Structure 1
């Protein structure tokens, strides 16, 4: 998956800063752009927690916001899991070894890693670095489930190819674990090599691994997953080959900014290897290109070239963004440990204004929810077309569970997807579940093995902000079953849930019986008005009215 927009936005955050010194919202960041600091503080009040760091060009800014674990505050010493930003570190290891002559970008993985077979063995190192190998699928049973080295190689050998290697792009975590295994084979130990040669600046090691050794030292932020504190906080004993190479590292936000600057200035790997990093690319034709571990963005897009990477989510509940602005000689890192507003979302909203020299957008004012008002609005509201909204009072607003394609459609709004994107996704999901492709037939077999014969499939709407999830009602012998599917770029199943709960949307009060969807990145979004027993929903899809039963 290309996560370009949020990454680009986070990188450009640096363009709005002047000379800065270390500081945080409770300190005195005297040389920071006061508008930027004020805006970040207000976003923290609205729900963001994390840190920002800027390095290079005479700038060394450190600012932290919100709580690290519910009690202690985030500080410059707080450690975050950086997720897929780890791929930039893996790529640096591979390019450093290539510069030393230990391997070549033209080598196939099979020639470098004994025991590897299948399409993975035919992929070149360059194709793995650029996500153009075509390898489809995952390895192991989960990020935090033990996976031995030999078992990982066996799993990788079973992956299929979605297209002719080198001809297209498809994001692959498995491909980067394969690169880590190659580093392990060439050097004798992937983790030892990373610690000694890659996680080192000026002879001093920075950061480390989220799970296992060598661990990133320092207090760790506790992330948020599905509204609750994350349970994966670095205690997994391993072996770690499900995550190694593709999302295994952790560090402070300042360390991430400093390492990013050091990488592109030739302090981590030889400057000649950095030139290879910047020139090895898969061009998208829109001013952006994939380079090993990063996305390069041309000056024609935002007026200045930049290189970015982002990662996070998952079971740690952290998000991280790193960026390098070569013309300014400045790097920036943004991290977060909350769901409501994460690092990428925050940057995507504020950067256009910063780049244009306009005031930084501020959170929409929120009013304190009245518990009695919230309780009085609870109930089931039915649309004339048959869909329903089940409204439940929450701590600071209303949770609305939508049932039926009409109800879900009225609530839909997204910063990234247009109505035609939704229609295309729904059509593809129905085609999949009607068995029109080999992948679809395999999916039906898996469903029927669990639920029995599927007698029909009915569309139940599409939800999602940064990922489309199309809901369907499966007619089975034991009764209807709700499921949702998120498809990847090649029509395969990217994620799914069987026997799923209906999509639920959070509404926050704006006053006088009016509510809005708590949605980040949509200027107008969805507005809901309650009057007597009538609930009126107005948004991008139009207006719909539902009456309380």
Structure 2
């Protein structure tokens, strides 16, 4: 089995930028960017960014441009009219739909879910609409994998079986299931069903529907779509999943261009989607998330003390569609910034984080921090092979696109290739590993279900072995080797603070990183944003030396 559960990487920052006024381009217009942005974004494209960028001020666009391939097989490039799945940014649209129902008197934020949906039982029935919007219902767990069929009645039954990790209203705990419950509430009250109401009342703004719609099913987002590229190649999720779609409804089901995402964001906070009272309710800080930011309905609010003016942002991605997206709203300057990407080389969130300081100061977009170096192809080929660590771990070295690709096999190798950032302590990693083991040993209801699902595909589990914990693509992942009587299966899990599954992939390939030459016989991990701990590697005839912030490990070449 292969499972992905969409994980939001809640949003990054942006503050005010220089602009060059211009008319809002239609979706089929050629790309255009002010000179302040153009050269720097071109450099990011050369470093591997593939996607589109849209920046507007007061509803007028200063930059709308695409970079890289939307579809490698057909040589189709990303462009202003390219459509992306926006993942968990869909929650911002779900929140807007809820507030439209509040505006028309069909709903109150204090209403309990069970009073609206009588078939809903259990702890979920006691959650209020406000708690669901702010991720404070305390509910934990998942009701289904992203692209597995899930009907309405089954979704309601599974929601009724969710457990509660915290007292309602006391604690922030991100919940995809909570937003699915909000979608079910919309479906019950809207009169047109969830999808009909979203299409007619929320996705539509004064400038027209344009590309806004659903990634899978109808009404679909119209326009050429970007193919997502995962580490293993192109995604199989191209928007043709027949459904039923309730696993993603309300929490990760929408798609559109970055132009339309920025346009809709401006319309929302300008009062054109919901009432002015509801607009203020959406923008108002709700509950402290514990890191200086506050949850708002469908968004995250950054204080003015952090970046010079308040920023409201949200992001989505990490699922099996292979897209990442981020959108930020700057209330004082009325600026909307939307970025989407379709490869993991430079994700949308990473690009926004990297260029934000320059945009704050009104400086040109800075180039990426990719080392400048070159290597003889013969030297690259000479490094290819397997290098063994004691006991039993190894590195695999291959050449991909004139760069070295190094994969880690085993716990020590994973932790050497992906050293923990300073923000993740050893205790945090150990706690995460223990929780993953508990999960697969069936210590929780969710764990028992996960174990049953695994065994139905691969056979009875005979042993579990930790295979390393690392921060990869912005999330803490624990790799684990699960053994059955006939095979060993590698997978990874990312858990939330309550121990529930946030994201998972089973089976998976060993984690790998790209290295670029930096002179002489040295190579450095390819990190254009400069956010990750630097790792270097050197080769001799008989071994490799991998150096990071925690020291150097040496691995002996097989067959020496």
1:250-269 CA-to-partner distances (Å, cap 9, x unmatched) read 11111111110110111111
1:394 is the counterpart of 2:400: yes
Alpha-carbon shift at residue 523 of structure 1 (Å): 5.8
1:487-523 CA-to-partner distances (Å, cap 9, x unmatched) read 2211234344566543333323334222122335436
Gaps of 5+ in 2: 1-6
Whether the 8 Å CA contact 1:461–1:471 is kept in 2: the answer is: yes
- Compared with structure 1, are the counterparts of its residues 107 and 265 closer, same or farther at alpha carbon in structure 2 (3 Å cutoff)? same
Whether the 8 Å CA contact 2:85–2:253 is kept in 1: the answer is: yes
- Compared with structure 1, are the counterparts of its residues 430 and 201 closer, same or farther at alpha carbon in structure 2 (3 Å cutoff)? closer
- Which of 470, 478, 495 is the matching residue for 1:487? 495
- Compared with structure 1, are the counterparts of its residues 19 and 58 closer, same or farther at alpha carbon in structure 2 (3 Å cutoff)? farther
Q: Which residue of 2 aligns with 1:48?
A: 49
Whether the 8 Å CA contact 2:127–2:137 is kept in 1: the answer is: yes
Q: Distance in 1 between matches of 2:540 and 2:293?
A: 48
1:516 is the counterpart of 2:524: yes
Q: Distance in 1 between matches of 2:240 and 2:65?
A: 27
Q: Which residue of 2 aligns with 1:362?
A: 368
Q: Superposed, which structure 2 residues align to 1:259-408 within 5 Å?
A: 259-279=264-284, 281-356=286-361, 360-367=366-373, 370-383=376-389, 387-408=393-414
TM-score in terms of structure 2 length: 0.87
1:469-496 CA-to-partner distances (Å, cap 9, x unmatched) read 2234557666866554332211234344
Q: Distance in 2 between matches of 1:198 and 1:437?
A: 42
Alpha-carbon shift at residue 339 of structure 1 (Å): 1.7
- Compared with structure 1, are the counterparts of its residues 96 and 280 closer, same or farther at alpha carbon in structure 2 (3 Å cutoff)? farther
Q: Which residue of 1 aligns with 2:184?
A: 181
Alpha-carbon shift at residue 287 of structure 1 (Å): 3.0
- Cα RMSD after superposing both structures: 3.0
Alpha-carbon shift at residue 439 of structure 1 (Å): 5.7
Q: Which residue of 1 aligns with 2:65?
A: 63
- Which of 117, 123, 128 is the matching residue for 1:119? 123
Q: Distance in 1 between matches of 2:40 and 2:79?
A: 18
Alpha-carbon shift at residue 386 of structure 1 (Å): 5.4
- Which of 465, 476, 483 is the matching residue for 1:468? 476
1:87-128 CA-to-partner distances (Å, cap 9, x unmatched) read 111100101111221011111111111311111111111111
1:147-189 CA-to-partner distances (Å, cap 9, x unmatched) read 2222222222222222222121221111111111111111121
Q: Which residue of 1 aligns with 2:551?
A: 542
- Compared with structure 1, are the counterparts of its residues 326 and 496 closer, same or farther at alpha carbon in structure 2 (3 Å cutoff)? closer
Alpha-carbon shift at residue 354 of structure 1 (Å): 3.4
- Which of 201, 205, 224 is the matching residue for 2:205? 201
Whether the 8 Å CA contact 1:136–1:161 is kept in 2: the answer is: yes
Q: Distance in 2 between matches of 1:211 and 1:500?
A: 24
- Compared with structure 1, are the counterparts of its residues 277 and 523 closer, same or farther at alpha carbon in structure 2 (3 Å cutoff)? closer
- Compared with structure 1, are the counterparts of its residues 415 and 430 closer, same or farther at alpha carbon in structure 2 (3 Å cutoff)? closer
Deviates more, 1:230-239 or 1:123-132: 230-239
- Where 2:69 maps in the other structure, the secondary structure is coil
TM-score in terms of structure 1 length: 0.89
Q: Distance in 1 between matches of 2:348 and 2:150?
A: 30
Q: Distance in 1 between matches of 2:315 and 2:436?
A: 32
Q: Which residue of 1 aligns with 2:4?
A: none
Bigger RCO of structures 1 and 2 (CA < 8 A, at least 6 apart): 2
Whether the 8 Å CA contact 1:115–1:153 is kept in 2: the answer is: yes
- Which of 222, 230, 236 is the matching residue for 1:231? 236
Q: Distance in 2 between matches of 1:101 and 1:44?
A: 48
Whether the 8 Å CA contact 1:453–1:476 is kept in 2: the answer is: yes
Q: Distance in 1 between matches of 2:78 and 2:481?
A: 43
Q: Superposed, which structure 2 residues align to 1:150-161 within 5 Å?
A: 150-161=153-164
- Compared with structure 1, are the counterparts of its residues 270 and 167 closer, same or farther at alpha carbon in structure 2 (3 Å cutoff)? same
Q: Superposed, which structure 2 residues align to 1:422-437 within 5 Å?
A: 423-425=429-431, 428-429=434-435, 432=438, 437=443
- Compared with structure 1, are the counterparts of its residues 78 and 421 closer, same or farther at alpha carbon in structure 2 (3 Å cutoff)? farther
Alpha-carbon shift at residue 391 of structure 1 (Å): 2.0
Q: Which residue of 2 aligns with 1:146?
A: 149
- Which of 169, 172, 196 is the matching residue for 1:169? 172
Q: Distance in 2 between matches of 1:483 and 1:523?
A: 23
Whether the 8 Å CA contact 1:16–1:33 is kept in 2: the answer is: no
- Compared with structure 1, are the counterparts of its residues 500 and 201 closer, same or farther at alpha carbon in structure 2 (3 Å cutoff)? closer
Q: Distance in 2 between matches of 1:66 and 1:444?
A: 38
Q: Distance in 2 between matches of 1:528 and 1:521?
A: 17
1:40-95 CA-to-partner distances (Å, cap 9, x unmatched) read 11111111121111223374122222222221222222211111111111100101
- Compared with structure 1, are the counterparts of its residues 452 and 194 closer, same or farther at alpha carbon in structure 2 (3 Å cutoff)? closer
Q: Distance in 2 between matches of 1:162 and 1:386?
A: 39
Alpha-carbon shift at residue 341 of structure 1 (Å): 1.0
Q: Distance in 2 between matches of 1:258 and 1:274?
A: 16
Alpha-carbon shift at residue 369 of structure 1 (Å): 5.4
Gaps of 5+ in 1: none
Alpha-carbon shift at residue 305 of structure 1 (Å): 0.3
- Where 1:269 maps in the other structure, the secondary structure is coil
- Compared with structure 1, are the counterparts of its residues 248 and 475 closer, same or farther at alpha carbon in structure 2 (3 Å cutoff)? closer
